[in-house]
Amino acid sequence: MSVKSYAECTVRAGFAVIRLSNPPVNALSPALIEELLRAVVDSEKNKDIKGCVLMGASDKFSGGADIAAFSEVQKPGAKNLRDLLEAIENSTKTFIAAIDGIALGGGLELGLACDYRCSTQNTMVGLPEIKLGLLPGAGGTQRLPRLVGVELALATICGGEPIAAQKAVEMGIIDEIIEGDLLEGALSFASRSIEKSPKRKVSTMSVKPNADAIEKARRAAPAEKSGGLAHHRAIDCIEASTTKDFAAGMAFEGEKFMELLESDQAKGRIHIFFAERNVSRIPNLSPTAKPVPVKKAAVIGAGTMGGGIAINFLNAEIPVILIDTTDELVERGRKHIEKVFAGSVEKGKLSEAACVKKLQSLSTATAYDGLKDVDMVVEAVFEDLKIKKSVFEKLSEICSPTTILATNTSTLDIDEIASVAKNPERVIGMHFFSPANVMKLLEIVRGKATSDETIATAMQIGKAMKKIGVLVGNCDGFVGNRMIAGYLREAELLLEEGALPEQIDKVMSAFGFAMGPFAVGDLAGNDIGYRIRKEREARGPLPHRLSELGNIIVEKGRHGQKTGAGWYKYESGNRKPQPDKEVEEVILAESKRLGITRREISAEEIVKRVVYPLINEGAKILEEGIAIRSSDIDVIWIYGYGFPAFRGGPMHYADSIGLSTVYKDLLQLEKEHGDFWKPAPLLEKLARENKKFADFKGA
Ligand code: 3HC
């Protein structure tokens, strides 16, 4: 057998050992599939071998079908994963998958087409296609129910979560865990298996119908139009495994897979898969700029935000000093951190020993003396420029000139804060989202003096904290909060014109947001937006009128869930928003005061009025170079603001509608509602050139 570049073959103890070699994750690309297929055909002809062991050339079996190459697989005549799996099942040789690291999606489907599966202890297997808006399209929906039953197959496919090897053994996906050398163990396992039965095709196994489990899964899935298309098609396929024979079930699965591949939901999710991985590609960053090691850190401000940031450092195994002005405040901060870790222990997410170790790495102080030898400080004090500047002045005096000084401001000017520092090149924004220990997004804000080394360090620390760090430029509100201003403005103006909070929230939930703007306001505290608005108004007149409704609500003491009332009312101990007559009266009175005749507002208008401002502002942000690429804006909105992932973020959503349509709609809105709606120059240019935001590579 010849040695190939993608599928390396050798013969050991009467078995062909076929190694998948397509780094970094052995994605099943057309080239790899073709070579594997050839190796299967070759092995069939080779009388000297009894079977084949399939394994990864490195420490990973396979991350699944090559997501970037789906279009190639669709080309007529191209051999695809299904052809390979059919050849394996129909071969007279025994096939053993020896799995190390991961077998995901098509990778696990490859394993399921083998007669037997063994793995190392630290392996994870799973069918995560649902997260890409797809379903397992190489027999996963037909073979898995035959192997583990309908209920477990539904949970595995609709949940999309990876399963640890031991659990996979209990489920019946993996037959044996190998201790020690995987190949040696797999060869021994293969010999024993052949003796029992040389072939064990999953496709010939029987599967019991389970109508209750199917119904339950349908009820639990998101609505088709709200991101659940793949769930519903996957459930249909699993059901088909119980009503059709294997060949008919495969044909049905193939049809549904192709339908999903063409869907906007899959396109949106696949866009985000790559967008998320692109954020760390920073153009023009000096190749010599390396992250400085952060062995010790400090957080200034022991409130909920500061505590959350300290937890992030501890989770990244970096000792941290939590600082505030009084013993009482730091003690409260420590208690909050202890409570969070205790909760993780209770849920079984953290061992008692790991919890103790983390807390040993936490110290508290009310003075800055201990900051002389820290490598990074994150300031998370009250959102007030004067206070922040005085903190940076002090930090600059005490810390080493090499310490990275980060501010967690969500709106303030980084350059203004850096202006008081002795080493402004060491100053950077690290904007965490609340709760900081939970939310995955981190906006990393570069000021005009911020050095490449400082940027590289902040990006590295973000990764160590398991955050998605997106580098953005310095402007009022950076990317996320700058964009949200127009979204909230329009939501409130719609109230004046005829809508009610529950109507808007319902429409936006159906659009795919986990919560509508008013429910979010109540959760976060309407007083926060109120303070930001007042602070902004104090700086000068606003370019566009804002509704007074947000202010009226707060001035009535309706700060949100924490005061039992906001845009909704809340029964004590219950966080479920209840529409409130009192709020309706306030809204109606405001319409009357403004002389507005209230009108019926359609769901379509609501979506346009709140989402289009995001797109238009996003275009300005892109043109100004505040965001590196449009997909970075999408990542920020999905991970920081709950924009529906299946729509791929606001910029991808605009690209999917077509920029010329968005442009025309904006002109119409400008005519009806004034110059707030004037299309951004970049949007106009791309629309005229029939291009997408994704085509824009910088001004
Ligand atoms: N296809 C193409 N590229 C892939 C890929 C895949 N299935 N999986 C990962 N990659 C690429 C990533 O884009 C990234 O590329 P980059 O370095 O150029 O940015 C590189 O591999 C490394 O990926 P990560 O940075 O994510 O590395 P991690 O080690 O953190 O994670 C992983 C590895 C767990 C495999 C993760 O990448 C992952 O979850 N991948 C997707 C798995 C998946 O969804 N598989 C199903 C694919 S669809 C399918 O199989 C259809 C079938 O049913 C027909």
Q: What is the pLDDT of residues 521-563, one digit of tens each?
A: 999 899 988 988 888 888 888 889 999 999 999 999 999 999 9
What spacing in Å lies between the alpha carbon of 336 and ligand 1's midpoint? Answer: 36
> 49: closest CA among 21, 86, 17, 7?
17
> Ligand 1 test: best mutation among 67, 86, 261, most atoms within 8 Å of CB?
67
User: What is the pLDDT, as a whole number, of residue 542?
Assistant: 86
Q: Which ligand 1 atom minimizes the distance to the CA of 140? A: 53
The catalytically annotated residue of 89, 109, 443, 502 is 109
What spacing in Å lies between the alpha carbon of 63 and ligand 1's midpoint? Answer: 5
- Write out the DSSP string of 443-478: EEEE-SS--HHHHHHHHHHHHHTT-EEEEEE-STTT
pLDDT classification of 643: cutoffs 50, 70, 90: very high
- Ligand 1 lining (C-beta closer than 6 Å): 24-25, 27, 63-68, 81, 102, 104-106, 109, 128-129, 132, 134, 136-138, 140, 277
In the predicted structure, residue 683 carries a pLDDT above the cut 90: yes
Give 252-266 pLDDT, tens digit per residue: 999 999 999 999 999
Give 429-455 pLDDT, tens digit per residue: 999 998 999 999 999 999 999 999 999
User: What is the pLDDT, as a whole number, of residue 70?
Assistant: 85
> Whose Cα sits closest to atom 30 in ligand 1?
277
Give 78-109 pLDDT, tens digit per residue: 679 999 999 999 999 999 999 999 999 999 99
What spacing in Å lies between the alpha carbon of 443 and ligand 1's midpoint? Answer: 24
- CA distance linking residue 292 with residue 403, whole number of Å: 9
- CA distance linking residue 577 with residue 614, whole number of Å: 26
What spacing in Å lies between the alpha carbon of 21 and ligand 1's midpoint? Answer: 15
CA dist list (Å): 304 to 286, 367, 399: 36, 19, 24
In the predicted structure, residue 7 carries a pLDDT above the cut 90: no
Enter the tokens of residue 277: 């991985």
In the predicted structure, residue 3 carries a pLDDT above the cut 50: no
> Whose Cα sits closest to atom 17 in ligand 1?
277
* Token pair 């050839």: residue: 38
In the predicted structure, residue 75 carries a pLDDT above the cut 80: no
User: What is the pLDDT, as a whole number, of residue 480?
Assistant: 96
In the predicted structure, residue 148 carries a pLDDT above the cut 80: yes
* Residue 129 falls in the annotated catalytic set: yes
User: What is the pLDDT, as a whole number, of residue 543?
Assistant: 87
The catalytically annotated residue of 129, 239, 276, 502 is 129
Q: For the stretch 362-373, what's the b/e string if a residue is b when 16 or more beta carbons lie within 10 angstroms of its beta carbon?
A: bebbeebeebee
What is the residue-averaged pLDDT of the chain?
Answer: 95
* Residue 215 falls in the annotated catalytic set: no
Q: Which stretch of 150-164, 198-212, 569-583 has the lowest confidence by average pLDDT?
A: 569-583
Per DSSP bridges, beta strands 15-20 and 297-300 are: unpaired
User: What is the pLDDT, as a whole number, of residue 384?
Assistant: 87
In the predicted structure, residue 6 carries a pLDDT above the cut 90: no
Average pLDDT over residues 616-634: 98
Enter the tokens of residue 695: 């085509």
In the predicted structure, residue 269 carries a pLDDT above the cut 50: yes
- CA distance linking residue 231 with residue 222, whole number of Å: 8
Structural domains in the chain plus CATH codes: 7-262 (3.90.226.10), 297-472 (3.40.50.720), 486-601 (1.10.1040.50), 603-699 (1.10.1040.50)
What spacing in Å lies between the alpha carbon of 272 and ligand 1's midpoint? Answer: 12
In the predicted structure, residue 4 carries a pLDDT above the cut 60: no
Give 505-521 pLDDT, tens digit per residue: 999 999 999 999 999 99
Give 28-70 pLDDT, tens digit per residue: 999 999 999 999 999 999 999 999 999 999 999 999 999 999 8
How much of the chain, in percent, has pLDDT values that exceed 90?
A: 92
Give 107-132 pLDDT, tens digit per residue: 999 999 999 999 999 999 999 999 99
Q: Which ligand 1 atom minimizes the distance to the CA of 64? A: 50
User: What is the pLDDT, as a whole number, of residue 151?
Assistant: 98
